[in-house]
């Protein structure tokens, strides 16, 4: 009886082992499970930022912090590996219509930085209008800034105490569409870019760029009262040859980076 039980046990073990082998073989031709995909984590909050009348002390009205903002440009130096870079000392966030294209006697920007609105989760409501004064390009080389840059860009030299917003010295952008970027937390922005350059009249082109939102945060320095800040970074590029720029010192493509910091002080 004991022998029979041992034989029965051996038979069962053989059958189980054989089944396991067969089962493992049948999986040889099965495809492995697909790897886990990790796409971008997209999370848009509900912040809404508006300029209002930009009243000092009104925490519901946001103001451009020009001293900590910038409009930068860069382009390849033709025949060399390095970049030519610079910034515009004078710029603004305002819809400069034809009637406002004037020379203003002012030490700073004469127009309010009020032509914008930002809705973090409703990009269709977001818009901004901006401009730069071309003759305020600053490369850090005075001879270049007051010399070949002025003549090469089709503008005129700086007049001290005057902000030149005339048609030959202003480049403007005006948004026509803002939408979510499906690949990131950023936004895809379409603008109308208008500049005369060395043409006989201004040229307007449709250009697509990318907008990044740096979310609202509260800051405080020393014993001063705290306040909120947020930032917007907009990048785009254009072909300067389309605007009559023939200088062989720069390449066709000009990269623009706009960094705007705002606060509710």
State how far the Cα of 239 lies from the Cα of 245, in Å rounded to an integer. 9
> What are 32-83's pLDDT values in tens digits?
666 665 677 889 999 999 999 999 999 999 999 999 999 999 999 887 878 9
Any domain includes 170? yes
Task: Please tell me which residue, 151 or 160, carries the higher pLDDT value.
Answer: 160
Any domain includes 130? yes
pLDDT of residue 17: 54
pLDDT of residue 22: 47
Any domain includes 8? no
Any domain includes 9? no
**Domain harbouring 67, CATH code:** 2.40.128.110
Mean pLDDT, residues 247-263: 94
Domain count, the chain: 1
State how far the Cα of 65 lies from the Cα of 57, in Å rounded to an integer. 14
**Whether residue 120 has pLDDT greater than 80:** yes
pLDDT band of 163, cuts 50, 70, 90: very high
Task: Please tell me which residue, 54 or 12, carries the higher pLDDT value.
Answer: 54
Q: 92 and 130 in contact (C-beta within 8 Å)?
A: yes
> What are 122-155's pLDDT values in tens digits?
999 999 999 999 999 999 988 888 888 888 899 9
Any domain includes 6? no
Any domain includes 60? yes
Range of the domain at 89: 48-263
pLDDT of residue 193: 98
pLDDT of residue 146: 84
Any domain includes 84? yes
- Half-sphere exposure of residue 215, counting CA atoms within 13 Å on the CB side? 8
Which class for 167: exposed (0-12), middle (13-18), buried (19 or more C-beta within 10 A)?
Answer: middle
Q: What is the pTM of this model?
A: 0.83
Task: Please tell me which residue, 177 or 11, carries the higher pLDDT value.
Answer: 177
Number of neighbours of residue 3 by Cβ within 10 angstroms: 7
pLDDT band of 31, cuts 50, 70, 90: low
State how far the Cα of 263 lies from the Cα of 117, in Å rounded to an integer. 14
- Token pair, residue 123, equals 């990009």
Q: What mean pLDDT, rounded, does the chain reach? A: 89
Any domain includes 57? yes
> What are 197-239's pLDDT values in tens digits?
999 999 999 999 999 999 999 999 998 899 999 999 999 999 9
Number of neighbours of residue 243 by Cβ within 10 angstroms: 21
């Amino acid at each position: 009886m004991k022998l029979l039980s041992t034989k029965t046990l051996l038979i069962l073990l053989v059958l189980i082992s054989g089944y396991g082998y067969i089962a493992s073989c049948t999986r040889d031709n099965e495809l492995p499970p697909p790897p886990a995909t990790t796409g971008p984590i997209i999370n848009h909050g509900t912040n809404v930022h508006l300029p209002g009348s930009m009243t000092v002390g009104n925490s519901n009205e946001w103001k451009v912090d020009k001293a900590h903002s910038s409009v930068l440009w860069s382009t390849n130096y033709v025949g060399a590996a390095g970049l030519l870079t610079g910034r515009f000392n004078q710029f603004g966030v305002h819809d400069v219509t034809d009637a406002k294209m004037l020379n203003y006697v002012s030490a700073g920007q004469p127009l309010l930085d009020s032509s914008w609105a930002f809705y973090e989760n409703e990009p269709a409501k977001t818009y901004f209008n901006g401009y730069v004064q071309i003759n305020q390009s600053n490369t850090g080389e005075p001879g270049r800034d007051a010399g070949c840059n002025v003549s090469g860009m089709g503008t005129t030299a700086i007049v001290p105490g005057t902000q030149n917003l005339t048609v030959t010295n202003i480049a403007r952008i005006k948004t026509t569409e803002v939408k979510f970027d499906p690949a990131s937390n950023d936004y895809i922005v379409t603008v109308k870019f208008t500049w005369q350059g060395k043409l006989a009249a201004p040229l307007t082109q449709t250009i697509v760029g990318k907008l990044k939102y740096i979310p609202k945060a509260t800051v405080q320095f020393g014993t001063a009262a705290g306040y909120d800040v947020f930032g917007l970074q907009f990048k785009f590029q254009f072909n300067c040859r389309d605007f009559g720029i023939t200088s062989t010192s720069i390449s066709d493509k000009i990269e623009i980076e706009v960094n705007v910091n705002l606060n509710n002080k």
